[in-house]
Amino acid sequence: MRDSQNGFLGVAHLVSAWHSEAGLVLGQVKTAVKSNEIMAIPELLDVLDLKGATITMDAMGCQHKTVEKIIAKQADYSVAVKNNQQLLAQAVESLFTNVDAGVREGRLLQDITLDKDHGRLETRRCVVSRAGFERDGRAGIEAWPGLKSVIMIEATREFISGREKEKSKSKPSTEWRYYISSHSFDASEFNRKVRAHWSIENSCHWVLDMSFREDDCRIRTSDGAENFAILMRIAMNMIKREKSTR
């Protein structure tokens, strides 16, 4: 991005709102110069009608002011938790130190799904805690407005056939992800919503990169990059709504 007075300002970063069920981009905001996505997310929320919606965000959006804005606009949230909120991350992880015992005792709810695709088997275990943790005094949890559930996703992947199995000499890989939410869904619903959140990668980012070749765009002057990005997303929305032909 280049400005006539200040010269080269760097790459333009955009924050987009994605409707996972409709598969459409609802809006976008460009991060200001010398700012970042954390500051841009509340700006985007301000221009959207959120009443009754569930907003899902990665850990970048795990900020007190962002969550407060969502609650104030009569919406709900499910937000990823990482070490950018260290106290919260430690408190959340401590709720899942003995998952099997918690499930047996009824303190934790769980849902397990198996997905097989392209020679890969993925086991997703969603575990939910919502039994009075907001009153147990854990530092980092009680301060989050509207918080009703804490979620852990345990995802295990292994190759079971094809070339990838031959190339892969390692054992199945497992990763753990954590979320906080203002909802009181059961584990199966949280499992579905967390997975739906990542539809933006294949249905939006991949399409813009591979079909629209957005990363190859060399528009640099003034607001040109942002304006062209808006046009590409409008075009993508229109194409997705066109059902008469593929």
Query: Looking at this protein, which amino acid is placed at residue 175?
Result: E
Percent of the chain topping pLDDT 70: 83
| Whether the predicted pLDDT of 103 surpasses 80 | yes
**What confidence tens digit (pLDDT) does each residue in 165-191 have?**
555 556 788 999 999 999 989 999 999
- Count Cα atoms within 13 angstroms, Cβ side, for 32: 9
Scored b (16 or more CB within 10 A) or e, 154-180 reads: bbeebbeeeeeeeeeeeeeeeeebbbb
Check: CB of residue 62 under 8 Å from CB of residue 48: no
Is the pTM for the entire model greater than 0.85? Answer: no
Mean of all residue pLDDT scores within the chain: 81
Task: Report helix, strand or coil for 90.
Answer: helix
d(CA 193, CA 242): 26
Residue of 81, 26, 45, 32 lying closest to 200 (CA atoms):
26
Q: Which of 44-53, 128-137, 158-167, 200-209 has the highest mean pLDDT?
A: 44-53
